[in-house]
Amino acid sequence: MTVMPASAAFALARNRAALPLNTQAAAAAASAPSRVAANAAANANATANATANADAKGAAHNAEMRKAAQAFEAVFLRQMISTMRSATPGESLLGSDAGNQFRDLMDSRLADDMAGKQKFGIASMLLKQFGVDET
């Protein structure tokens, strides 16, 4: 192992320094405001992006809730129509199983259309109960 005299090591370190200490301090002080401004801008962008993402997630959640409430209203109306059909005395004109199946399909479609028009208010009551805006 080679040991270098202290005076030689000090001279070597001084030659390798890029800038004298007072110049380094001045350069660091000059770049500090720009770094602070850059950090502030980056933080503002990150906050804006997070807010936009939260708004998008909230809007998607509200849309899913509206869709689920409308589907629930359709199921409720389908059950109501089915109960009304079973309460009627007498058979249909043809009285076949195929006719009953098509009548059930028609009732299902009718319930979906009725729920889509939002005239019964079941979906809006559910949305109000869960605190979802109806805009």
Burial code (b: 16+ CB inside 10 Å, e: under 16) for 64-75 equals ebbeebbeebbe
Which stretches of the chain score pLDDT less than 70?
Answer: 1-54, 89-95, 134-135
Q: Is pTM, for the whole model, over 0.85?
A: no
pLDDT > 90: percent of the chain: 16
Q: What is the Cα–Cα distance from 76 to 80, expressed in whole angstroms?
A: 6
Query: Per this entry, what is the length of the chain?
Result: 135
